[in-house]
Homo-oligomer: A and B are copies of this chain.
Amino acid sequence: MKLVQIKTATVPLQSDISNAWVNFREMTGTVVAVVSDVRRHGYPVIGWGFGSIGRYSSTAIVRGRIAPRLLACPPSAYLDADGRLDPMRAWPIMLQNEKPGGHGERSTAVGAVDMALWDLAAKLEDVPLWKLLSDRFNQGRADTTIAVYAAGGYYHQAGGQSALQDEIKGYREAGYTDVKIKIGGATLAEDLKRVECAAQVMGGMKHVAVDANGRLDATAAHAYATALGELGVRWFEEPGDPLDFAMQAELSASHPALAFATGENLFSHQDVRNLCRHAGLNSKRDTLQMDPALSYGLPEYLRMLDLLATHGWSRRRCVPHGGHQFSLHLAAGLQLGGNESYPGVFKPFGGFADDTIFETGLVRLPDAPGIGIELQRELSACFRGLLG
């Protein structure tokens, strides 16, 4: 088995929506195809990966640094003793001559290539990725259904409260039992009305999480936490800057009954270690949302899980950001706490296989070998374009 070609391209995101911090109109993403020399049914076996959602394309880094390093080394460097592709061995090759610290952008580039390598490895074994992960990293245990929640409730350009109500109703009718909506982009009073609107549709505050996307300062965050604690929302996500661990620790101490969630903007195990050490989170109640496709891929995610365990966190407290199929496989094969879901937004990256079986907030993975990106029509079109 040999890697013969790595192709990459930038794909625009099809979402003109805003959270408290950014508009996604000009957001892009990275697609990566790793071509092997193994042929089946007359075609090469190819792994597909992408750089999740919310950080701009890192194709230049894939093209200039990550891909050349992989293609320059002998296959023995990324094969196991039985001659099978081992993405765990490919990982240090991708990060040769990279300095420590500065964990952004290149973490997405490595995440996208790593995803393609796992897709390829599972296809070569002819198993769905969750099965490969379960056998290799979880003693053969796996979940057959994964709890997902609908992440939405963005600030619509028009329509206000009634547009929000329609959006949340759509999630409920599609079968979602839990939703997350954006806050922090309006006044506290207006945001609380948005939360109440969502809770009314979903049948209770415990079905509504809220996300400030790191926008609030300490004073505003305390005011929101007080109000949200009284309402009893499911969780309060990223109140302040994702690296302001001391502010989170103060919030957690001042609002002991309120659950918090964070982690989507921490892209290395070193950053997650600082979160564990300094942010005062509650390992029995809070939710961690690191996204492997934004943060150096699965090998780094496994490092995060290991260090979380040493700080008393169960994997069930991890619910990855990104609403993509790769994390869905991790959630199943490593038995995480669930996964985010973006019904209808962030196309072509958001969403799962087109015919995903979905019932009352639970998703089943398809049986196709690999990740199953081929079963997402719109996303797979990006890859077919890439391969020409």
Contact = CB atoms under 8 A, between A and B. Distances in A.
Interface of A: 21-28, 54-57, 59-61, 64-65, 97-107, 213-214, 241-246, 265-268, 270-271, 273-274, 277-278, 294
Contacts of A101: 104, 214, 241-243, 265-267
Contacts of A64: 28, 56-57
A61 B105 contact: yes
A370 B271 CA distance: 38
11 contacts: A56-B64, A57-B64, A60-B61, A100-B241, A101-B266, A102-B107, A102-B267, A103-B103, A104-B105, A243-B271, A243-B274
A245 B265 CA distance: 19
A171 to B, nearest CB: 24
Contacts of A243: 100-101, 103, 268, 270-271, 273-274
A9 to B, nearest CB: 13
A54 B101 CA distance: 12
B267 A245 contact: no
Contacts of A98: 22
Copies in the complex: 2
Given A21-B99, A23-B97, A100-B242, 15 more contacts: A22-B98, A22-B99, A61-B105, A99-B265, A101-B104, A101-B241, A103-B243, A104-B106, A104-B107, A105-B106, A243-B268, A243-B271, A243-B274, A245-B278, A274-B274
A107 B106 CA distance: 12
A246 B310 CA distance: 15
Contacts of A245: 274, 278
A266 B99 CA distance: 12
Contacts of A21: 99-100
A155 to B, nearest CB: 14
Contact of A60 (B60, B265, B294): B60
B270 A278 contact: no
A103 B245 CA distance: 15
A211 B242 CA distance: 30
